[in-house]
Chain A
């Protein structure tokens, strides 16, 4: 089972079930997942118990499996670039879905596109680039760090995206992109400390009307990159910042009585519901925080207020109190079309 979809005629009953060698994303809860390669006689151990891989084989993706000592269960999910981004081993800072999705769209990637990436880093973006250009396009990704490149190459093989991804060790700031790709590249993504140094090479690589994106955390980097881009006649130079705000959803009892009474404001209303970990139950977390939000599937019926209150407590939502404030600036530019 590859992370990339396969054509209908190549799909069989077998491709819908978990087989030896497949990567499954073991899902405990929203902020706790692990990518595991299914191996004969393999075992996974976590706080929910021991999970022998042999018991997973033949089961459908998305199934729930119980730990051997009965402490709880996990879900076995089919891998996607999004889940991979949440589960991957961090070798570097990685890009997350808000930036990734925006980059893929703004580079106008589609099956058949040829895209260059530097650096490879932990390969978070690379998987999404691969999905966008597959089955006929290609991602050429470069990192100057050999060990990192090798680890990424292993990940790509394991996730079944190697067919559309080539990893090379190369210092793009110093050497530029390989000349053999010149003029036929649809999109370039730069995540480099000094992206402006790579721009002349980007100009040679891109086809007319091709797009480049540079990701930089600091505005000074953006400033210099934009100056160099306009010096090289790039059009539509645009810089964005994109973030995501996650919401917590819960039931909340808002009193409609304003009469003076003995009743003190119940703390039950604002307290998170009791955790139900004793059964090994997995709470479905709606966001990165494990505290302070009510996602008790029973709608808070376990609180002292009881089930009568449950009916009258409306569902409300608000953003989680803390979130990412900045990841980086995304600068896009279009290669000029010659007259």
Chain B
């Protein structure tokens, strides 16, 4: 099924994860990476924002990809060639739905529907005249029956035409206030002429979409928290960031986005098999950014660090090369840019296999520039050695099911002295205890345990107020600056 190229984040729908399973699809995706990322190109990933956030769907625009909106199957080919941010209206026809690009502002909502109050800018005046005192809720206001409407739909009457018919056949539409007329139209539009905004997947949009629709996948990481993490961890070009990402790859991808092809994000893992970082593939990264997303088992990073620090204390006495001290070092280590690709699925499970595979990779010379690079290859020998010697420039931990102190104890020594770290957790208590431990161990300064608070507002003339519903927690972040004891 081609339609299975989409990940749907619906309220009652289970998230269908497919991207990894369709090899063919991936090829298309990586070969046609958008140049500047502002245009919708064949094979790229898009975030479909349907009816202003009612439903959010990720899709890869492969050939014949489709998405179901309401009960209508819509082919996504029509989106290609338009810029991101374009707004489309779904026109249902006899052979399914089609996307028609419309003006992005909501101003044309009333076009051809009832009288428009031109010149009367302040709706506040109109409210005075009309109210709901004569409203009788007896379900007789609409003279069109459900059968009439479904007949119109099967005949392929456009959504807009149906809306016009509904207004014309409503006995009460003209007695409503301007506000409630608008509300009525908006409701009908959602049903008969759904609007789809094609958004560019970015840390911001991916985080918001998952938080709204499937927060368990991303450990309830809210957008403002993600922003805070990226700032506190000093993420920017040329940073070398260590990430323990058990949030589906959202942290790794967000860091990679900020690196923009400079520096590294090393997604580490403590398990025999690396955890998934599939969300990285939603970001339409170009080859240079993808090549900066690497993986390494925590045990190897720790071994490299220990060996390097042993070497640095020894080096005062004897002038050795130091390479022998690091067990994982291989002579034929290649420069990063020439390391071939490792498929995420093929990542070896055992460390010895890692090393063997890496050796094999380093020998093969099948890398060509311009060839697609998949994010998440194994870190090269050279990188591991450098991180052992210099340490990472920062650490981000997002592991909702691990005890923070257990993690931090192991990973903090992998940082350079004076490097910042941030530990995210959806619960307060484990971080409080971790903070207490860090204080007594004296390995960090500037410790802060913080919770962000975010409130969105409706801003409309005479109708400004905070949104009626809001998220009550964005989780907690424990941040600080690592101070090495030596």
A interface list, Cβ under 8 A from B: 4-8, 11, 16, 27, 30, 60-64, 75-78, 80-83, 97-98, 100-102, 104-106, 108, 110-112, 128, 131-132, 134-136, 207-209, 219, 222-223, 226-227, 230, 233, 235-247, 249, 251, 284, 286-287, 295, 297-299, 315-317, 319, 329, 331, 334, 336-337, 339
Q: How far is the CA of A8 from the CA of B336 in the complex (A)?
A: 12
Residues in chain B near residue A134, CB distance under 8 A: 236-238
Selected contact of A11 from candidates B390, B439, B482, CB within 8 Å:
B390
Task: Report if A106-B204 is in contact (Cβ < 8 Å); known contacts: A223-B459, A245-B453, A339-B103.
Answer: yes
Of B87, B417, B446, B481, the most chain A CB neighbours within 10 A belong to B446
Residues in chain A near residue B432, CB distance under 8 A: 247, 249, 315-317
Verify A240–B234 contact, CB threshold 8 A.
Answer: no
Answer whether residue B447 sits at the interface, using C-beta atoms and an 8 A cutoff: yes
Residues in chain A near residue B445, CB distance under 8 A: 27, 30, 75, 77, 284
Verify B238–A135 contact, CB threshold 8 A.
Answer: yes
Q: How many whole Å from A123's CB to the nearest CB in chain B?
A: 16
Q: How far is the CA of A57 from the CA of B139 in the complex (A)?
A: 82
Q: From DSSP, what is the main secondary structure of chain B's interface residues? A: mixed
Q: How far is the CA of A317 from the CA of B448 in the complex (A)?
A: 12
Q: How far is the CA of A238 from the CA of B53 in the complex (A)?
A: 13
Residues in chain A near residue B417, CB distance under 8 A: 60-63
Q: How many whole Å from A213's CB to the nearest CB in chain B?
A: 12
Q: How far is the CA of A8 from the CA of B260 in the complex (A)?
A: 15
B interface list, Cβ under 8 A from A: 38, 82-87, 101, 103-105, 197, 200, 202-204, 223-224, 226-228, 230-232, 234, 236-240, 257-263, 386, 390, 393, 416-420, 428-429, 431-433, 435-436, 439-440, 442, 444-457, 459-461, 464, 466, 476, 481-484
Verify B238–A286 contact, CB threshold 8 A.
Answer: no
Verify A102–B224 contact, CB threshold 8 A.
Answer: yes
Q: How many whole Å from B140's CB to the nearest CB in chain A?
A: 36
Of A76, A209, A233, A246, the most chain B CB neighbours within 10 A belong to A209
Q: How far is the CA of A43 from the CA of B294 in the complex (A)?
A: 44
Verify A100–B448 contact, CB threshold 8 A.
Answer: no
Residues in chain A near residue B227, CB distance under 8 A: 101-102, 104-106
Q: How many whole Å from A290's CB to the nearest CB in chain B?
A: 14
10 additional A-B residue pairs with CB within 8 Å, beyond A111-B260, A136-B237, A336-B104: A27-B446, A75-B445, A77-B445, A77-B481, A101-B224, A105-B223, A235-B105, A240-B455, A242-B455, A337-B104
Verify A5–B483 contact, CB threshold 8 A.
Answer: no
Q: How far is the CA of A241 from the CA of B456 in the complex (A)?
A: 6
Q: How many whole Å from A132's CB to the nearest CB in chain B?
A: 6
Verify A5–B236 contact, CB threshold 8 A.
Answer: yes
Question: In chain B, what residue has the closest Cβ to A323?
Answer: B453
Task: Report if A297-B440 is in contact (Cβ < 8 Å); known contacts: A63-B417, A208-B85, A242-B454.
Answer: yes
Residues in chain B near residue A128, CB distance under 8 A: 231
Q: How far is the CA of A183 from the CA of B257 in the complex (A)?
A: 23
Verify B237–A16 contact, CB threshold 8 A.
Answer: no
- A sample of 5 inter-chain contacts (CB < 8 A) reads A76-B418, A97-B231, A100-B231, A245-B451, A286-B439
Residues in chain A near residue B484, CB distance under 8 A: 60, 62
Verify A111–B261 contact, CB threshold 8 A.
Answer: yes
Verify A5–B418 contact, CB threshold 8 A.
Answer: no
Selected contact of A242 from candidates B231, B234, B435, B452, CB within 8 Å:
B452
